[in-house]
Amino acid sequence: MDLPAVGLGTMGIDETDPIARAIELGYRHLDTAQIYENEATVGDAIAASPVARDELTVATKLWIDRLAADDVRPGTEASLDRLGLDAVDLLYVHRPRGDYEPASTLSALDAVADAGLTRAVALSNFEPDQLRTARTHLDAPIAAHQVEFHPYFRQDELLTHAQEHDYPLVAYSPLAGGKVFDDPVLEDIADKYNSSPATVAIAWLCSHDNVVTIPKASSPAHLRANLAATDLTLDEADVARIEGIDERVELYPE
């Protein structure tokens, strides 16, 4: 699926205004999930926007208690009801845990796609072996794979898989929970470009083929700054400096 370089992650956003503001500023990829408990909020923002529905890519994720074969369609329909939509563009398996069983879960998701309730099926938080297994059970190619990815937590094997099979790796938590703001390497590079560490971190992600990202933001300033990262091109030396940061921080371990 062709996704914008920067979309909006909505985890923790429980008011309509920031999402409506993001759409107004030019965000066209909105990412939510059942476990965020804000699908209705996202839906209200979409309904209130003058932007046509077909200009937006809307994604949600089935939680681990909605992955049994008999629960996939009812779970999807419940999400659509909360979103106020006839279909979403991306429907994710949020995590391959709980009721997830590769053959039956993914077959049920293919059926949901065939029924027109989602344009495409996507995966999230899969390990490389789980990803390879999923490919053998899905009728259609993987539309996207969403994982934690930032300067302190690279998942190179997953990135390589996305590049080899030509689908987007959707990087969540690109700012590492705010850690990038105080990183001396990112601060130094930001000074060079008269930018900010957050913008540099997002630009670094976007420098990779097949990577898009969904930073969460609420304020107009942060929403604009995240979008501005698409206008920043880092030189190879700066990309290498960021990739040389010798610190590992995983925010959402399994």
Active site annotation includes 36:
yes
Q: Which helix (H) or strand (E) holds 212?
A: strand 211-213
Q: Which residue do the tokens 């419940």 mark?
A: 78
Full strand arrangement of the beta sheet holding 8-9: 8-9, 29-31, 57-62, 88-93, 118-124, 145-148, 169-172, 211-213
* Three-state DSSP state, 90: strand
Q: What is the DSSP letter of 216?
A: B
Residue 7: alpha-carbon gap to chain centroid: 7
Q: 137: phi > 0 → left, psi -120 to 50 → alpha, else beta; which?
A: alpha
Distance CA 247, CA 95 (A): 25
Distance CA 190, CA 73 (A): 46
Q: Which residue do the tokens 């930073």 mark?
A: 215
The answer to whether 168 and 214 are in contact (CB under 8 A) is no
Strands 29-31 and 169-172: unpaired
Q: What angle do CA 63, 205, 129 make, to 5 degrees?
A: 50
Q: Which residue do the tokens 């994604």 mark?
A: 59
- Say which of 36, 92, 167, 172 is annotated catalytic: 36
Question: Which residues have a catalytic role annotated?
Answer: 36
